Amino acid sequence: MEGVILSPMPNKKNVPARETKTAKTAKANQTNGGETHQRATTDLLLTTNQGLPISDNQNSLKGGDRGPTLLEDFILREKITHFDHERIPERIVHARGSGAHGYFQPYKSMKHVTSANFLSDPKIKTPVFVRFSTVAGGAGSVDLPRDVRGFAVKFYTQEGNFDLVGNNIPVFFIQDAIKFPDLIHSVKMEADRGYPQAGSAHDTFWDFVSLMPEALHMVMWAMSDRAIPRSFRMMEGFGVNTFRLVNSEGMSKFVKFHWRPVLGTAAVLWDEAVKISGADPDYHRRDLFEAIASGNFPEFEFGLQILDDKTADKLPFDVLDATKLIPEELVPVEIVGKMVLDRNPDNFFAETEQVAFCPSHVVPGIDFSEDPLLQGRLFSYLDTQLSRLGSPNFHQLPINAPKCPFANMQRDGHMQMMVHKGRGNYEPNSIEPKGERETPTGFRTAPIPLEGTKVRLRAESFKDHYSQARLFYRSVTPQEQKHIAMALTFELSKVDIPEIRKKMLGHLSVIDEKLGAKVADGLGMTGEAIAATPAAKPIDLDQSPALRLYGKYKPTLKGRKVGILLADGFDAKLKDALVAAVKKEGATPAIIAPKVGGVMDSAGKKIMAEVALSGSPSIMFDAVAVLAGPVGDKSLSAEPDSISFLLDADRHLKAIAVAGAPNLAKKTHVDGVVGVTDLRANGDISKFIDFARNGKVWERDTA
């Protein structure tokens, strides 16, 4: 076994005088089933967790070479025990995650609205750890289900850790945290059958939604392309709940937190998502890891929507309602800084899996609102970490530990890793005059007046469940509207109970009559809707173009991938020019060939491929090109993988370039189609790049 590390053999003077032949042979050869293991040439010793050097890592201690294993073998027990406990309980939600290290730096001081140190000085770089995730699936599910994405950021500030725990959607399904277990039970695998995994297209979820119209706004977002993002790097993030900013004078204002990807937003089509999940279940995880490893660091700008209580009171909805958003046209987002993710985790388990986020982790200058969903989260997250990580000392794990000094009177507990000194483990005390003490500059809760009677009621201002769902649907682009209708039709077609479908059609008709009609027609249930009776009459809010996914960011190819399929006889100069143009845009070209060994160019020179066509369908790229000669064109035209390569690229609205492959273009019906550039006819690489910058070629979106 190459690479096995064995500690030095004992010196002769330490070997017992009488040793059996069997024992001598075992020590001499270090055998395991007859295979000889040589000591590796390294000074690093293999030891137990206590530092004891191990002389034999190949064999357990037995009573004779064919005898039973002895309970005395503490090395075996330590090794197996640790292995048995390598997995901790996965998160109930957000179980599948990907993480990255980086830093945050403000553009300007925000001292006038918050005393938070990390937002006060543009010179301060605050370390961060970010975890992106899906919500519904388990840790072993795929990256691209239709689902909400988690966007959680741990700021290691000079005043302690601040955890901004959000999603890629600015609202949530429910208004009160007491409904969270019901929501998650409904969307998770059904209790009697254990499926579906990571999917909402089943009876229990839609039954819950049909009976809880407060979820309808979030459902519209979840059925949009926001729920199938192209990459974590091209995904917006939101704090969801309303928080407060508090300045040094104690003045407070409401705030909504926003993250804006510098690369802009992008999504895949549903058919792409389905096929990507089969071709690469780790699509998003791989994309994030490879981008950082190659130096293409993801960047996100940090924005704040700040409003005072008087402005909040004038809005036609309640800012404490987590199912509502504040349109940017009413309260603009102020961009105040940027986050750069520049380092991958060294160990997935120790960092990405063990990182513990809690909304209750705030710093001076940031406080909570009375949002009933947030209020429940303040308890729930801490309780979850205690269950998952098994100890109140989870904050001592390196990924969770503050990077500033921290000290308190908390002691002992499971997995205590600190060695506390002194007698004074209580406060106040006089026997440790230099011990921990409170400080006037520490966290102070904003002095918000409260009055009321203890009740279990929902505020009247929370009653409108349809107006913002209508706002979102009518604000997005026609393509997004069509995809929402298609997603709803697909999801509801998976619902077995007709009454649930009928109730949902009633809700959709209240949101938008045309939407309800489209979905009903798609289901073959026109005229079967059960009318919904809103608790509050919906109102038509002014449209908010800021809610759109497409068209609000500057077109770019930066951070994207372009697949270039080569076949025998291709023009090498044209290939080099295309590769150079793609790199100039900040994108990554990938050279594909029918076989990974490569192909011959027109001059007879063999060019190696980076990936083989069979393992690199067009779904893995943002734009594609096919370069060939007569021989290669003939070969590609008879190859199912190359035909699918172009057919899918066309169906998925990708920019396509073709040179020297007229037969393949004709066979796949892409010849002359909008967004398809014939490079050999006009040599216009820039035309192809222009199409690719725009992402999807929406003019082809007819099906």
CA angle at 696 for the pair 695 and 700, rounded to the nearest 5°:
155
Report CA 118 to chain centroid distance, whole Å: 24
| Eight-class DSSP state of 360 | T
Long-range residue pairs from 515-518, CB within 8 A, at least 24 positions apart, any chain: 515/473, 515/481, 515/484, 515/485, 515/488, 518/485, 518/489
Residue 565, Cβ density class (10 Å: 0-12 exposed, 13-18 middle, ≥19 buried): buried
38: enclosing H helix or E strand? none
**Helices 478-493, 270-279: inter-axial angle, 10-degree rounding:** 60
Is 82 annotated as catalytic?
A: no
Is 167 annotated as catalytic?
A: yes
The whole-angstrom separation of Cα 405 and Cα 407 is 7
Q: Do strands 588-593 and 561-566 pair parallel, antiparallel, or not at all (unpaired)?
A: parallel
Residue 631, Cβ density class (10 Å: 0-12 exposed, 13-18 middle, ≥19 buried): middle
Report CA 662 to chain centroid distance, whole Å: 41
Which positions ≥6 away from 201 have C-beta within 8 Å?
Answer: 146, 490, 491, 494, 495
- Please identify which of the residues 37, 101, 117, 167 carries the catalytic annotation: 167
The whole-angstrom separation of Cα 231 and Cα 621 is 12
> Which amino acid type is present at position 577?
A
Query: In this structure, is the dihedral angle defined by the CA atoms of residues 44, 49, 51 and 52, taken in order, positive or negative?
Result: negative
Q: Are the C-beta atoms of 468 and 512 separated by less than 8 Å?
A: no
Encoded tokens for 360: 């209750």
3-state secondary structure 51-113: CCECCCCCCCCECCCCCCECCCCHHHHHHHHHHHCCCCCCCCCCCCEEEEEEEEEECCCCCCC
The whole-angstrom separation of Cα 618 and Cα 163 is 38
Residues making up the chain, counted from first to last: 703
Paired residues of 471 in beta bridges: none
Q: Are the C-beta atoms of 674 and 693 separated by less than 8 Å?
A: no
Backbone angles phi, psi at 578, to 5 degrees: -70, -45
Q: Are the C-beta atoms of 150 and 94 separated by less than 8 Å?
A: yes
Report CA 14 to chain centroid distance, whole Å: 56
**Helices 513-523, 498-511: inter-axial angle, 10-degree rounding:** 150
The whole-angstrom separation of Cα 110 and Cα 87 is 42
DSSP one-letter string for 281-339: TTHHHHHHHHHHHTT---EEEEEEEEE-HHHHHHSSS-TT-TT----TTTSPPEEEEEE
Q: Single out the residue of 598, 577, 610, 594 nearest to residue 679, CA to CA.
A: 577
Q: Single out the residue of 196, 261, 199, 258 nearest to residue 230, CA to CA.
A: 261
Q: Do strands 97-106 and 334-343 pair parallel, antiparallel, or not at all (unpaired)?
A: antiparallel
The whole-angstrom separation of Cα 304 and Cα 309 is 16
Which positions ≥6 away from 59 have C-beta within 8 Å?
Answer: 26, 32
DSSP one-letter string for 392-420: TTGGGSTTTS-SS----S----TT-----
Q: Hey, which residues are catalytic here?
A: 94, 167
